[in-house]
Amino acid sequence: MSRRYDSRTTIFSPEGRLYQVEYALEAINHAGTAIGIMAKDGIAIVAERKVTSKLLEQDSSAEKMYILNENTLCGVAGMTADAGILINYIRESSQEYLKIYNKEPPLEHIVKHVCNLKQGYTQYGGLRPFGVSFLFAGYDDRFGFQLYTSNPSGNYSGWKATSIGANNSSAQTILKQEYKDDLDLEDAKKLALKVLSKTTDSTKLTSEKVEFSTVSLASNGHVQLKIWKPEEIDKLLQESGVLEDTEEDK
C-alpha cells in the first residue's frame, strides 16, 4: 500500500508529503559530504570522494567541483550524472546572461534559475527529480562573497558555513561551534578540512578521497576560482595538521 503515493513525483500523500522528493533528499544524505565555509576574504569548499575500487583509474580531474562562470564555482553531493545535466544548464544560461547584459550574472540569479528547473520536476509528472544538492560559492559586486545550497525540492538558502551529503547534521553541529565571523580564508580552509576529517568514515584523508576548491579575490580585484590539484591537496592536508589529529583520536 505504501507504494500508492510513492510512484508519482507530483502526487501528495494523504499526510501532505511528496515521497519522491523526500527519497531524492534521502539519496543525497548517503552521498559523499561536501562542506562550504565563507570567510571575509574568500570561500573554501571541500568534498569527500568515495573511492569505489583500487583498480579505478585515478585521474586528476575533480568529480565534485565545477567552475560555472568567471566568478562562481560549485560543489556537488548526490548523483554526479544528474549534476552534469544541471551544471551544463547553469553554464549555458550563465553565458546567455553574459551575452545579453555584458555582465556576469549575480550569484543568486544563477541559483534561483537552476532551482526553478529543479522545482519543475517536483510538479510536472512522469519524471524523477534531480538527485543533486549543490554548494554554490561565488562573488559579485553587490553582495561580495556568497555561499548557497540548493536541494532537489528546488529550495535554496544562503549560508556562512554549511554542509550537504552524508553526516551533514554532525558537520553542521561542528561548524556551528567552530565558526567565527572574523574567519579568514586560511582559517576557513583548515576548518573545512578539520570538519571533513571528523565527519567522514575514512580513517585518513588523502588527495584520493578529498576534493578542494576556493574562491578568493586576486590583488587586481578579479575573482580567483581554484580547484585544487591532488599534490596541492596533499600539501594542504599536511600543513593543516588534520592528519595528526586523526591519529591522536585513535
Based on the shown chain and the rule CB under 8 A, indicate whether residue 128 belongs to the binding site for other proteins.
Answer: no
Which of 32/106 has CB closer to other proteins?
A: 106
Q: Tell me the window of 45-53, 98-106, 151-159, 162-170 that interacts with other proteins (CB under 8 A).
A: 98-106
**Is residue 219 classed as helix, strand or coil in its secondary structure?**
coil
Based on the shown chain and the rule CB under 8 A, indicate whether residue 100 belongs to the binding site for other proteins.
Answer: yes
In the shown chain, the binding pattern of residues 43 to 82 toward other proteins, with x for contact by CB under 8 A and - for none, equals ----------------------------------------
Which of 106/154 has CB closer to other proteins?
A: 106
Residues 6+ apart with CB under 8 A from 149: 36, 133, 134, 135, 136, 156, 157, 159, 162, 164
Angle (CA) 79-85-87 rounded to 5° is 95
Instruction: Select the residue interacting with other proteins from 101, 176, 218, 248 (CB under 8 A).
Output: 101
Residue 106: CB minimum distance to other proteins, A: 7
Cβ proximity of 228 and 213 under 8 Å: yes
Based on the shown chain and the rule CB under 8 A, indicate whether residue 221 belongs to the binding site for other proteins.
Answer: no
Cβ proximity of 110 and 178 under 8 Å: no
Q: How far apart are CA 198 and CA 173, in angstroms?
A: 11
Q: Tell me the window of 15-23, 93-101, 190-198, 206-214 that interacts with other proteins (CB under 8 A).
A: 93-101
Q: How far apart are CA 40 and CA 179, in angstroms?
A: 12
- The three three-digit cell numbers of residue 65, written as one number: 567541483
Which of 56/101 has CB closer to other proteins?
A: 101
**Is residue 43 classed as helix, strand or coil in its secondary structure?**
strand
In the shown chain, the binding pattern of residues 134 to 163 toward other proteins, with x for contact by CB under 8 A and - for none, equals --------x---------------------
Residue 101: CB minimum distance to other proteins, A: 5
**Is residue 59 classed as helix, strand or coil in its secondary structure?**
coil
Tell me, by CB under 8 A, how many residues bind other proteins. Answer: 8
Residues 6+ apart with CB under 8 A from 67: 73, 225, 227
Residue 95: CB minimum distance to other proteins, A: 13
* Residues found near other proteins in the complex (CB under 8 A): 99-103, 106, 109, 142
